[in-house]
Amino acid sequence: INAALDGFSDISLGNVIGSNIANIGLVLGVTAVIAPLAIDHEFYKLNWPVMMVVSVALYFLLQSGHVLTTWEGIALLLFLVAYLWLLIHRARKSHKLDTKVDEEVDEALSKVSNWRIIIWLVIGGVALWGGSELLVKGAVDLAHAMGVSERVIAVTMIAVGTSVPELAASIIAAIKKEKAISLGNLIGSNIFNIACVLGITSIIQPIDVKSEAVLTNDIFWMLGFAAMLIPMAFLPKSFEIGRIKGLLIVIAYILFVSMAFLY
């Protein structure tokens, strides 16, 4: 949002597109190399098709007029609401969602006053705003220093930075042989990035496509990484992404980053 308001729409778009690529190419790939990742049936029944629909929709929305308008942002948000409603409905129908309120409330949290929660919320909001300002300024300065566009920095370095916490947690969990990540979590994150992040941003400030490479290069990489999950999931061993598949995904991501700086 800050990048779009400051006139750097390529950073907004690049961050979302690059983050979606990094979620699959980096987080999923590296984690699978460390420990094979099991795939549940919801992957191809709902989550993957929805991710592909919203990803392809983003391409056509940006292609038509080279701008993501306010109304298109509203449409993306409504799509997200419908998707979330469907998830909740399916969970209730399959009796996987416990509708009862969990009585085991963290004791430490229950002792925190409402005023303290509000104060920390305000402090967190101010820190988030300040951090986003520094991030945008740093990205612009770094792009100028390296002689590349803001788009390149956003789609690579900023995107990787966005995925680092999840990557670190997944690596630690994989090393400890605990459940690392689910493919559904990463796909859900990609859907949220497009439908919510770009949706809200474009409602506040329509997002212009300033760099043609976003439509001729970056978004096709995003679609490619999303599409290759199907053959990766079923060939040669079904419902598992093992070390070899993970390595191939990481190699593809390294190729993407290299070409981003050369394109």
Q: pLDDT digits over 213-263, tens only? A: 889 999 999 999 999 988 887 777 677 888 899 999 999 999 999 988 887
- What are the boundaries of each domain within the chain? 2-96+150-262
Identify which of 95, 70, 217, 233 has the alpha carbon closest to the alpha carbon of residue 152. Answer: 217
Q: pLDDT digits over 32-62, tens only? A: 888 888 777 777 888 899 999 999 999 999 9
Contact (CB, 8 A) for 135 and 158: yes
Strand 67-68 to 207-208 pairing: antiparallel
DSSP H/E element including 216: none
The pTM for the full model equals 0.82
23, burial (CB in 10 Å: exposed 0-12, middle 13-18, buried 19+): buried
CATH number assigned to the domain covering 2-96+150-262: 1.20.1420.30
Q: pLDDT digits over 76-120, tens only? A: 999 999 999 998 888 777 765 444 444 444 555 556 677 777 787
Residue with tokens 């104060």: 119
In this structure, is the dihedral angle defined by the CA atoms of residues 9, 222, 131 and 183, taken in order, positive or negative?
A: positive
In this structure, is the dihedral angle defined by the CA atoms of residues 67, 71, 77 and 82, taken in order, positive or negative?
A: negative
